[in-house]
Structure formats: structure tokens, C-alpha cells
Amino acid sequence: MKVTVVGAGNVGATCANVLAHNEVANEIVLLDIKEGVAEGKALDMWETSPVNLYDSRITGSTNDYSKTAGSEVVVITSGIPRKPGMSRDDLIATNAGIVKSVTENVIKHSPDAKIIIVSNPLDVMCYTAFLTAKIDKSRVMGMAGVLDTARYRSFIAMELNVSPKDIQALLMGGHGDTMVPLPRYTTVGGIPLTELMAQDKIDAIIERTKFGGGEIVKLLGTSAWYAPGAAAAQMVEAIVKDQKRVLPVCSWLTGEYGQKDIYLGVPVILGKNGIEKILEVDLNDAEKELMNGSADAVRNVMGILKDLNVL
């Protein structure tokens, strides 16, 4: 069972490390365009195997996609991250070309792969990969909701001083400041969040979640990698082990939630076939309005992509 991670930078290397450490796949290939970087990081990771007690084989490759051939899942993290003062959308001109060329290479060598996009702006990079790969929508998806929900759940855990393990939550929409956390679908050990936390505290956590990526960018001067890398690895695990996990995944919509021909985050069942089912939950009027606003924001960025003439 082979998994490839393209981009051996902060997120890609972290993702590969989590995959190896958790023995999600027995073969992990890390690929980057920068000479020697993927090989060096892969070797460094492999040298932790006797200490961390795993035997997943990790190898690196400088842009040689033949080494990725036959991968079951490919995670694409290649592309530039934002710096303070930038929005994710500012990355589109550079990252669209990168995601397109990487996807072409990936699909040439692993025609049956499930592809998980991480590069930003996430929803539109999924769209770029989907148009390029020309494979079923169930096999091209994006990682954002797992990360955004993790942030939301971690902030709730801090506020209530409870274990993050006991917090279940749903967050939908695009991976931008218009994302839609859903407190009505958030529980703490089975208890609705709304029974445990005052509305003003919930509102503050929602705001912090929406700008969670920016909070890290401000602190680090570049974007996050530990939580994003782990979140992508969780999606890989769900597919490789056919876990049928219910996770928020950036998916191609064909009418669900009143949205069509757009990538947006929605709850899905994730298993060996990729996105096996999109789950449609009831949204009230206010939630629908937020979801529609998020879709509008993603459509604006799709317009920028069109003007770039990359595809």
C-alpha cells in the first residue's frame, strides 16, 4: 500500500511523518521539486523508526514521479504559503500552475489514486485538480474542514477545560474567513455545546476559528503545519483503512446544500473509494445564508482562476 505526499515543505513533511509514525501505509513517498529536500527529510524520518518503533518505509524523490507509481492516495501540499498581511486567495496565481502540473504528473503515474489537496486557496485548488485529473469527483477532495474543526474543538476544550477527545463538531463551507462553524451540531460528551457555553463565548470561539489560520501566520510569519499535516494524515488513514469516517471534506457539489459546480466543505463518509457519500443535514435559515455567502466567496476566487487562463 503506497501513499505519496507531494511537497516536502512544512505541511507535507509533517503529514508524511504522521503517516509513518502511525503506520498508515507501509510505503510512503515524499516528493519535492527542490533537489535533495524530499530525500533528506525522508531519510531523517526513517532514522526515527528504531526510536519510534514503526516500519513504514519512507523514501524521497526529487521530481521523479515514477517513484510514486501506483499510489493509492496522493496528498498535494506543493505551493507557496502565505505571509502576514496576505490572504489565502493571494496565492492563486502561483499555486494554480503548481497544482495543475503536479496533478498531471500524479494521475499519469497513479491513475487510480484518491487525491487530497492541501495547497491554498484550498477550494479553488481542488477545482483546479479536478479539472486537470478528469477523474470521478469522489476521488478529488480537499483538506480544510478537518483542520478548521480541530481548531474549533481545541478552542472549546480550552474554554470548558475538558478533553478535546470528547468534543464532536461540524463546520462547513469554504476554507476562508467565511467558513461556517455550526454550534447547533457541536456536542461535548454528547451534551449540546449550547447547554454548556454562553452565546457570547460561542461567538468568540467561532470568530477565532474563522481566523485561526491567520492567527498562526501572524505568530510564525508563515502558515501552520502541525495541525494541517495531522489533519491530512487522518483523511489518508480513513481512505487507506476504509474506515468510513464522517469528516468535513472539501467536495465537488452537484446540488447538495443548494450548491452546484463548486468545491465546498461538507460532511462526508470517507472510505476506500474516497468520498463515498455526502451527508446532507438540515440547516436553518441563518446557517443557509452563511453557507451561501461562503459559496459566493469561493465563486469569486473561481472567477480569478478563470481570468488567469491556467487551465
Ligand X SMILES: O=C(O)C[C@H](O)C(=O)O
Q: Find the binder of ligand NAD among 65, 127, 225, 257 (CB under 6 A).
A: 225
Give whichever of 236 and 240 is closer to ligand X, judged by the CB atom: 236
From 2, 41, 114, 175, the catalytic residue: 175
Q: Which of residues 65-84 bind ligand NAD (CB under 6 A)?
A: 77-82
Binding site feature residues: 7-12, 32, 82, 88, 95, 118-120, 151
Q: Which residues bind ligand X (CB under 6 A)?
A: 81-82, 88, 120, 147, 175, 213, 216-217, 223-224, 228
Task: Work out whether 9 is an interface residue with ligand NAD (CB under 6 A).
Answer: yes
Is 175 annotated as catalytic? yes
Q: Which of residues 146-205 bind ligand NAD (CB under 6 A)?
A: 147, 175
Interaction partner, residue 176 (ligand X, ligand NAD, none; CB < 5-8 Å by kind): none
Give residue for cell 450548491: 259
Residues 6+ apart with CB under 8 A from 211: 177
Helix axes 212-220, 145-160, angle to 10 degrees: 90
Q: Find the binder of ligand NAD among 4, 5, 7, 141 (CB under 6 A).
A: 7
Q: Which residues bind ligand NAD (CB under 6 A)?
A: 6-12, 32-34, 37, 77-82, 91, 95, 98, 101-102, 118-120, 122, 143-144, 147, 175, 222-225, 228
The residues assigned a catalytic role are: 175
